[in-house]
DNA sequence: GACAAACTACCAAACGTTAGGTAGTCATGA
DNA sequence: TCATGACTACCTAACGTTTGGTAGTTTGTC
């Protein structure tokens, strides 16, 4: 990962981190500006309004993750289990020693208080993850890596829900091994 | 459920509903006052500050649910499956045709932006649910209602996480059957 | 008359946003 | 070569609005 020297990117970095930590409605332009080392109006020079900044943060987050996931899903030398492990790494990273949760999990928690175009970006995030998971589960079932009876959409939803929920519950209960536990349990369901 | 004619209770009702819908940091005294049909200072007459109101909302929510859950857990004529069904009903109720999520799920999403004493109440909520679930799972395993290999704490966490996550993801994706699907999948794991 | 519960009328602080201006960069053309 | 004009990046100051919260007063009930 390259260091973002570009100011717009540093604003996005700060905004993302603050949303993951505190939520969209609990942060202000001043909070972001302070973290970047500039003043509030300078942020508006780069992003016309708070909602536009919010939208840009989600889009970047979503697309960055998508290229990573699509890469491992289409790689010939990667198994379905490999892909699933890659999928889990951001969750374990967030869940161990950080007080951050998934950006879109945070935003979904205050979904009804979000501008409409931000809601759209969040929805796309979850829907694309469901699709990706269904695809990987189907692959793994074909290769015999995964063995389970549940319909693919149900299993994909259980995985997404429990990982998102785990991050949120973990932060409120401070159990260091929470994410590892949930992922291990999920894996046991995929290959008993 | 009795109708709350008491003003303090009606304030708590409105605050709870608004937090479940939009989140703590996105609502104001004015929002609550408008819903109750009184003015902002009247709320402060009943609750000294926003954090105190927030704390009272969580405490009432937690205790109301606790008496219900403890009732069914200790009832001799109720099986572990019965108890688990009772546990799931609030989630299915919220998850079908409502844009609300669990109060504490909402608050955990903005955990780091919450006053300290509110955080405590939220933590207690999740920890007591984990304990209750472990107890019910142990009961059901003893009676043969539940059959699974995972350690009790792992299974309890998976259930709590996936139900909380399901509510949040569902609202952002508008899948009507989301909660029913997850609960059916969870039940299949408890008794394959 | 006493008390609680509601009100009107405020406050200081913070919010997102706008206005207006200052440096510095960079391409263009005489 | 060196003005000129356009542009980007950032600033200070202020806008109107909303926030949580306070003070003092009226209303209703026993």
B98 Cβ contact list (under 8 Å, min separation 6):
none
Query: Please, which pLDDT band fits residue B98 given cuts at 50, 70 and 90?
Result: very high
Query: Please, which pLDDT band fits residue B4 given cuts at 50, 70 and 90?
Result: low
Burial B17-29 (b: 16+ CB within 10 A, else e): bbbbbbbbbbbeb
Residues A140, A146 contacting (CB under 8 angstroms): yes
CA-to-C1' span, B171 to D4 (A): 57
Residue A59 pLDDT > 90: yes
C-alpha distances in Å from residue B156, one per residue of A51, A149, B101, B152: 38, 21, 20, 6
Q: List A residues 117-176 in contact with B (Cβ-Cβ < 8 A).
A: 119, 122-123, 126-127, 130, 149-150, 153-155, 157-158, 160-166, 168-169, 171-174
Digit-coded pLDDT (tens) for A67-91 = 999 999 998 889 999 999 999 999 9
CA-to-C1' span, B44 to D22 (A): 10
**From the Cβ of B7, is strand C under 7 Å away?**
yes
**From the Cβ of A51, is strand C under 7 Å away?**
yes
Digit-coded pLDDT (tens) for B123-152 = 999 999 999 999 999 999 999 999 999 999
B160 to A165: CB separation less than 8 angstroms, yes or no: yes
Q: List A residues 41-60 in contact with B (Cβ-Cβ < 8 A).
A: none
Radius of gyration of chain B measured on its C-alpha atoms: 18
Query: Please, which pLDDT band fits residue A97 given cuts at 50, 70 and 90?
Result: confident
3-state secondary structure of B58: helix
Q: State the Cα–Cα distance between residues A187 and B113, nearest whole angstrom.
A: 33
pLDDT of residue A119: 95
B171 to A127: CB separation less than 8 angstroms, yes or no: no
Residue recorded with tokens 């949040």: B168
What chain A holds in terms of domains, given with CATH numbers, is 58-190 (1.10.357.10)
CA-to-C1' span, B32 to D23 (A): 22
Query: Please, which pLDDT band fits residue A7 given cuts at 50, 70 and 90?
Result: confident
**Least CB–CB distance from A122: residue in B21, B113, B172:** B172
Residues A85, A144 contacting (CB under 8 angstroms): no
C-alpha distances in Å from residue B28, one per residue of B17, B121, B147: 13, 20, 47
Q: Pick the closest to residue B59 from B151, B128, B153 (CA basis).
A: B128
3-state secondary structure of A183: helix
Contacts of B155 in chain A (CB under 8 A): 185
B38 min Cα distance to partner chain A (Å) = 23
pLDDT of residue A5: 65
B128 min Cα distance to partner chain A (Å) = 11
Phi, psi of A117 (to 5 degrees): -70, -25
Rounded mean pLDDT, A89-107: 96
């Amino acid at each position: 990962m390259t260091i973002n020297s570009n100011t717009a990117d540093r604003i996005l970095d700060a905004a993302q981190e603050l949303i993951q930590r505190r939520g969209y409605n609990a942060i202000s332009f001043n909070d972001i500006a302070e973290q970047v080392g500039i003043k509030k109006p300078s942020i508006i020079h780069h992003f016309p309004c708070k909602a536009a900044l919010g939208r840009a943060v989600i889009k970047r987050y979503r697309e960055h993750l998508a290229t990573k996931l699509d890469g491992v899903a289409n790689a010939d030398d990667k198994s379905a289990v490999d892909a699933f492990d890659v999928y889990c790494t951001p969750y374990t990273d967030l869940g161990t020693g950080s007080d951050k949760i998934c950006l879109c999990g945070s935003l979904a928690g205050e979904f009804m208080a979000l501008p409409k175009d931000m809601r759209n970006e969040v929805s796309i995030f979850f829907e694309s993850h469901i699709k990706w998971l269904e695809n990987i589960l189907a692959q793994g079932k074909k290769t015999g890596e995964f063995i389970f009876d549940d319909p693919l959409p149900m299993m994909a939803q259980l995985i997404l829900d429990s990982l998102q929920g785990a991050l949120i519950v973990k932060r409120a209960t401070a159990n260091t091994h929470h994410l590892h536990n949930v992922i291990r349990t999920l894996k046991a369901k995929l290959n008993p």
